[in-house]
Each structure stands twice: as C-alpha cells, then as structure tokens.
Amino acid sequence: MNNGYFITGTDTDAGKTWATIALMHYFKQQGKSVAGMKPVAAGCRLRCGQLQNDDALLMQQHASIPVDYRLINPYAYELPVSPHLAGRHDPVDMHAVLAGFKQLKALADIVLVEGAGGWYAPVNRQEDVSDLAKMLALPVIIVVAIRLGCINHAKLTYRAVQHSRLHCAGWIAACVDADMLMREETIQTIATALDTPLLGILPYLERADFHRLAEQLAGL
C-alpha cells in the first residue's frame, strides 16, 4: 500500500476536491486512517484571524484524525489568482511543504495531497505543481472534468505526468456539466486513450454526498 497519492486535475474547478474527499472516505471504508493536504490555495477567506480555504477545511473535517489547519494548508492566499501571483510576498517553500507532508505521513496511513489548478500551474516564481508532485514522489491520480474539451485536456495531462516520470495510478471522471452531451461516449473515449485505470465515475450532483461518491470508486 502506498502512503498516499497526489491528486491533480485537468484544469481549475475540475472536481479535484470532491474527488479527494471521496477518496478519503473510500480508504476509511477499508479501515485506513486518512488525512488530506492542500499545500497551496488561493482565494482564501479570513476566519478567526487566519486565512483559510474552503477545500482545505473540508479535508480537515473529513480526516480520520484531528489535524491542525496550517498543516493541511500551509500556504493560504487571499487573492483568487494563480498562486505565484497571490503569494508573491510569501512564496511557497517546497522544503516547508515536504516537512509538513512528512508530519502528516507519520499521523495517518494514507495522505492525499491535492494540487492547485492543473499539472503545470505555477506555485511560485520558479516551480509548478508538477515540481511539487515530483518532490513528494507520490503516485498520481488525475481528475478529469467531463465537459467539452476534456478529451484533449485528459490526454495532455496524462502525457505530462508521464513526462515527469511519476507513476499514474489512474484517473477519475468527474461529471461537472449537468448538460454534457454524449457523456458516456466521451468517458469511454478517454478510457481507451489513456493507458491507466479508470478508478471511478463521479456523477453530477448539486450538493456533495461523499459517501455516494466514494461508492463509485474502485481499484486502489
């Protein structure tokens, strides 16, 4: 069993967080203790004197163990822009992220790390999400937002992960468009194109039901 996975997406708002929380429930159902980590987040709000991100708060809520917020999301930025711009006065330090990840790894059987945006989204002036994934050396799970254009995005992201020489453990289809035409055919096209397992199809939901979403996952 791996000690975790790195969750990336085909774009911003691809469904990464719902997929990550669903995976947390999936592993808890297997009797594993689970924690989530979102190393960098932009568009955060001030709560009790601390910038916090809604997605990171969900991870904190659904973890098997109590985890301090700053360990889950060490870099929380207020502006809803690319992290390398939002954090220009407090840039992401990869070594600090790695140290936090090691702390989480000591606390839980499985640590799920969610990236920011897509695979090549910059997290500081010199490094991007792919560099973060390579540093953590975790198998990668790709979340594909099933909408118009997703076949191209899925192929590009998968090839980029391969180029980074990281193992791709599989991909998850996140149905984010309620009116998507030929959804099943599109998912099948991607499944045929990618040489990695389809781990699950997350249905379109107006409100999150993580137990239901976890039931759609298999193969890890």
Residue 73 near residue 47, CB atoms below 8 Å: no
Query: Is the residue at 176 inside a domain?
Result: yes
Residue 81 amino acid letter: V
Residue 220 within any structural domain of the chain? no
The pTM of this model reads: 0.94
**pLDDT recorded at residue 49:** 87
Residue 49 lies in a domain: yes
CB 143 within 8 A of CB 16: yes
Q: Are 42 and 83 in contact (CB under 8 A)?
A: yes
Catalytic residue list contains 38: yes
Q: Which of 16, 28, 32, 38 is catalytic?
A: 38
How high is the pLDDT of residue 89?
92
H or E stretch including 96?
A: helix 94-107
**Residue 36 within a domain:** yes
The domain in which residue 53 lies consists of: 4-214
Q: Is residue 146 part of a domain?
A: yes
Q: Report the CATH number that the domain containing residue 142 is assigned in CATH.
A: 3.40.50.300
**What pLDDT, on the 0 to 100 scale, is given for residue 130?**
95
Residues of the chain with pLDDT under 50: 1
pLDDT, one tens digit per residue, over 101-145 is 999 999 999 999 999 989 999 999 999 999 999 999 999 999 999
The Cα angle at residue 117 between residues 42 and 106, in degrees rounded to 5 = 80
State the DSSP H helix or E strand holding residue 72, giving kind and residue range, or none if neither.
helix 69-72
**Which pLDDT score, from 0 to 100, does residue 48 have?**
82
Q: How many separate domains does the chain show? A: 1
The answer to whether residue 219 is domain-embedded is: no
